[in-house]
């Protein structure tokens, strides 16, 4: 290692640009062959650092979003859900709905891909540098109840209100009592026309009376959620059953 290289390494470390050390060395090896001048060399180096920081920022946003797993829109098998409007879903994937503060709602029985689509849209939003949070309805209600009992409900509601996209998954898997209904209404009202929501539920809106103890609050929540929203009803077969059948066929095919 030359004295100059050692000095550059130390300077980059002091500037907290350690990630640039292998980059500048790689560029330096090509500089002579491509006959880069100093400004061209500096421009390439800075561009690499911009991309590195951008990539780090996206990874941080994905981590903060708390997705239960990683899914992409490209991995979704639309052919298995022929009743689902693929063009409308892909239009949602343009993320223009977030800029408009609109909502996306996926309704249907378990296993049809609602959460996959919600996560995939959330990942796209993170890649576009939006602030995203994914949470199950049951965990969200627990958080709000604890915040209310701890006297920090306003702070928690403000946290959720600052998100560009809030994904609430699996609304309907647990009964929602009156206290929880009121807390959820406060959250939905605070985000109304100020931030986007993606909501998944195994119940259609007509059946939400089975989910909420307070039907009046349920109606008020539905009114705010469906206004400025795109609603998808997925009534196809279960992907989980498909995977089990595929695995079973593979095992049977492998037997002799």
pLDDT of residue 125: 96
Residue 181 CA to residue 163 CA, distance in Å, equals 21
Residue 201 burial by Cβ neighbours in a 10 Å radius (0-12, 13-18, 19+) = buried
pLDDT of residue 88: 95
Give the residues of the chain that fall short of pLDDT 70. Answer: 1, 29-34, 51, 53-56, 240-256
Q: What are the domain boundaries of the chain?
A: 3-65, 78-241
Sheet holding 132-136, edge to edge: 132-136, 165-171, 196-201, 103-107, 229-233
pLDDT of residue 54: 66
pLDDT of residue 242: 61
For domain 78-241, the CATH superfamily is P-loop containing nucleotide triphosphate hydrolases (3.40.50.300)
Residue 161 CA to residue 169 CA, distance in Å, equals 17
pLDDT of residue 249: 44
Torsion of CA 121, 112, 63, 188, to 10 degrees: 70
Extract the runs of DSSP E, i.e. beta strands, from 156-207.
165-171, 196-201
pLDDT of residue 252: 47
pLDDT digits (tens, 9 = 90+) for 100-145: 999 999 999 999 999 999 999 999 999 999 999 999 999 999 999 9
User: Side-chain half-sphere of 92: how many Cα atoms within 13 Å?
Assistant: 27
pLDDT of residue 108: 94
pLDDT digits (tens, 9 = 90+) for 183-211: 999 999 999 999 999 999 999 999 988 89
User: Whose structure tokens read 């400025």?
Assistant: 228
């Amino acid at each position: 290692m030359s004295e100059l290289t050692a000095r550059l390494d130390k300077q980059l470390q002091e500037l907290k640009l350690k990630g640039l050390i292998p980059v500048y060395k790689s560029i330096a090896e090509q500089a002579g062959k491509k006959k880069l001048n100093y400004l061209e060399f500096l421009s390439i180096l800075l561009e690499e650092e911009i991309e590195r920081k951008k990539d780090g920022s996206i990874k941080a946003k994905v981590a903060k979003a708390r997705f239960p797993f990683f899914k992409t829109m490209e991995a979704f098998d639309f052919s298995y859900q022929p009743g689902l409007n693929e063009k409308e879903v892909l239009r949602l994937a343009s993320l223009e709905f977030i800029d408009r503060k609109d909502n996306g709602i996926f309704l249907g029985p378990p296993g049809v891909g609602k959460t996959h689509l919600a996560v995939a849209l959330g990942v796209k939003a993170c890649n576009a540098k939006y602030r995203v949070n994914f949470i199950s309805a049951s965990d969200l209600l627990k958080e709000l109840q604890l915040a209310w009992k701890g006297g920090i409900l306003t702070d928690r509601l403000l946290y959720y209100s600052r998100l560009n996209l809030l994904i609430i998954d699996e609304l309907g898997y647990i009964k929602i009592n009156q206290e929880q209904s009121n807390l959820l209404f406060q959250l939905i009202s605070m985000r109304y026309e100020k931030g986007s929501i993606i909501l998944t539920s195994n119940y259609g809106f007509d059946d939400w009376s089975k989910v909420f103890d307070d039907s009046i609050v349920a109606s008020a929540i539905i009114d705010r959620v469906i206004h400025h929203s795109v609603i998808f009803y997925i009534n196809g077969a279960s992907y989980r059953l498909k995977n089990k059948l595929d695995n079973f066929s593979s095992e049977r095919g492998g037997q002799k």
